[in-house]
Amino acid sequence: MAIETDVLILGGGTGGYVAAIRAAQQGMDVTLVEKDKLGGTCLHRGCIPTKALLRSAEVMDTLKEADTFGLELSGDVTINYKKIKERQQAIVDQLHQGVQGLVKKNKIRLIEGKGAVLGPSIFSPVSGAVAVTYNEEGKEEDIFVPKKLIIATGSSPHSLAHLPLDETHILSSDGMLTLEDLPKTIAIIGGGVIGVEWASLLNSLGVEVTIYEALDRLVANESQRISKELKKQLNKRGIKIELKQIVEGATVQDNGVDLNIKGQNNPVTVDKVMVAIGRKPNVEGLGLQNTSVKYSAKGIHVNEHYQTTEGHIYAIGDCIDTLQLAHVAMKEGELAVDHIIHDSSDTLNYVNVPRCIYTSPEVASVGYTKETLPKGKNVTTGTFSFASNGKALIHGGGDGFVEVIKDKDTEDLLGVSIIGPHATDLISEVSTAIYLDATPLELGEAIHPHPTLSEAIQEAALDTENMAIHK
């Protein structure tokens, strides 16, 4: 049966369901097709569950330092990983119910099944009809014919041919979330965002962690100064970090996994191995070969308004070659719908998208770093250490700093990097300042309450003018 709809969204992750809600708010008849669970990777296998684990790890760190706050705990603190996982799942379930409620409230037709895009056929003279195979056993396939199609199929963990995932001994980030017990030792292959976040939380929960990174520094998309400070802090916590090291293979043994490291004669044995080398766009098996939509291993090709090479078909989120961040997918979904409705929309400046790493200490940045500045920029830098911030010291987190980059010629705020307590929350102030075209001086002259962590941003901004008070 052919069912007509104004817009069909293929994928119910953060980008997909936000696009669906925005379209429904504008009075469109919306069909949302999801083969698994609403919320996608972010809600069920990424952002939310890992941050719930990180919160438990943060509490554990605080308990370890209780004595420094004048609190004497009697006996050892015991880690009950089963309860940690139960709390994590309860949070996921609550948010999942919330998303389901939003979809229902906005009268969005939710289809639980797998969709495949069709080329021109008896159902439609142009590509974009979608054949849906329902999850419900025995239910016959339907054909949906949308006026506009948005592809939001997300991404999956990358793997390596010489480190085949079995999700028991050699695991992806998905497999890590299925572990019922914590290993005693683990090797994490990859020092990017996913790798360092897992290293941080596992270390806090008592796991002996070693990171193997092929590059010469961690989190290569951040500034070199941030990378250096993060390595220093993770090392201080007991996390081993092996830079410029390549893992050439792994052999599963009865007592764990033997890793072969390039240039080393003897293998390294660990209980578990996590492969954290990024994520790949989900573009295969969607039926795109039936259309003239262009795509590659990097994702579906789109223009600045998220239109594919077939203008009535859009793509957003991790399945296109932009920043693989949930908040980016959400914004792309909103902008794609705006373009569908108005035939115009704002364009997203990806440089000014905030980037967050939920390690301990946290890392966050927005705008340019010194390494990514366009050539010819005449800049000055302001910095401020959390060691001089009263609120940071009160909370026991004086490590880290704020760095602000200013364009000397235009006075523009070009970028801010933060490593320290609650950096991922603090970055929103700077993101808003850049959006509103505020200068570092304006950011610094705005009154900040005392004592707060945000005063570190104020001082670093004033430092670009040599006006910092407490430096």
What CATH number should be reported for the domain holding residue 268?
3.50.50.60
> What is the Cα–Cα distance from 403 to 417, expressed in whole angstroms?
5
Are residues 164 and 145 both part of a single domain?
no
Token code pair at residue 214: 């092929």
Q: Is 450 assigned a catalytic role?
A: yes
Are residues 404 and 311 both part of a single domain?
no
Which of 44, 96, 162, 450 is flagged as catalytic? 450
The whole-model pTM stands at: 0.96
Are residues 272 and 291 both part of a single domain?
no
**Given 303, 323, 351, which residue is the final one in a domain?**
351
Hey, what long-range contacts does 303-311 have (CB within 8 A, 24 or more apart)? 304/347, 305/335, 305/336, 305/339, 305/344, 305/345, 305/347, 306/150, 306/332, 306/335, 306/336, 306/339, 307/339, 308/151, 310/126, 310/127, 310/128
Q: Is residue 75 part of a domain?
A: no
Are residues 457 and 427 both part of a single domain?
yes
Contact by Cβ (8 Å): 321, 280: no
Structural domain harbouring 118: 2-46+85-156+280-351
What pLDDT, on the 0 to 100 scale, is given for residue 397?
Answer: 83
**Given 351, 379, 402, which residue is the final one in a domain?**
351
Contact by Cβ (8 Å): 333, 169: no
Question: Peptide bond before 451: cis, by omega within 30 degrees of 0?
Answer: yes
Residue 273 pairs with which residues in a beta bridge? Answer: 170, 187
Number of structural domains found in the chain = 3
Q: Is residue 412 part of a domain?
A: yes
> What is the Cα–Cα distance from 314 to 22, expressed in whole angstroms?
15
Tell me the C-alpha to C-alpha distance, in Å, between residue 202 and each of 79, 186, 207, 234, 325. 12, 9, 5, 12, 23
Q: Is residue 72 part of a domain?
A: no
> What is the Cα–Cα distance from 204 to 106, expressed in whole angstroms?
42
> What is the Cα–Cα distance from 161 to 249, expressed in whole angstroms?
9
Are residues 372 and 418 both part of a single domain?
yes
Q: Is residue 53 part of a domain?
A: no
Q: Is residue 471 part of a domain?
A: no
Token code pair at residue 120: 């021109």
Are residues 414 and 346 both part of a single domain?
no
Amino acid at 433: A
Going by the DSSP 8-state scheme, the letter that residue 181 receives in this structure is S
Are residues 347 and 405 both part of a single domain?
no
Instruction: Give the Cα-Cα-Cα angle 212, 215, 217 (nearest 5 degrees).
Output: 85
Are residues 146 and 13 both part of a single domain?
yes
Q: Is residue 426 part of a domain?
A: yes
Element (H, E) at 94: helix 81-105
Are residues 250 and 310 both part of a single domain?
no
SS3 385: strand
Contact by Cβ (8 Å): 379, 367: no
Amino acid at 384: F
Q: What does each of the 471 residues of the chain score in pLDDT, given as a tens digit?
A: 689 999 999 999 999 999 999 999 999 999 999 999 999 999 999 999 999 999 999 999 999 999 999 998 888 889 999 999 999 999 999 999 999 999 999 999 999 999 999 999 888 989 999 999 999 998 999 999 999 999 999 999 999 999 999 999 999 999 999 999 999 999 999 999 999 999 999 999 999 999 999 999 999 999 999 999 999 999 999 999 999 999 999 999 988 999 999 999 999 999 999 999 999 999 999 999 999 999 999 999 999 999 999 999 999 999 999 999 999 999 999 999 999 999 999 999 999 999 999 999 999 999 999 999 999 999 999 999 999 999 999 999 889 999 999 999 999 999 999 999 999 999 999 999 999 999 999 999 999 999 999 999 999 999 999 999 999
Region at 9 (left for phi over 0; alpha for psi -120 to 50; beta for the rest) = beta
Contacts of 63 (CB under 8 A, 6+ apart): 73, 77
Are residues 426 and 338 both part of a single domain?
no
Are residues 168 and 297 both part of a single domain?
no
Token code pair at residue 30: 């919306």
Amino acid at 300: I
> The domain spanning residue 408 has which CATH number?
3.30.390.30
Q: Is residue 73 part of a domain?
A: no
Residue 200 pairs with which residues in a beta bridge? Answer: none
**Given 224, 258, 277, which residue is the final one in a domain?**
277
Are residues 146 and 97 both part of a single domain?
yes
Q: Is residue 292 part of a domain?
A: yes
Going by the DSSP 8-state scheme, the letter that residue 328 receives in this structure is H
> What is the Cα–Cα distance from 310 to 312, expressed in whole angstroms?
6
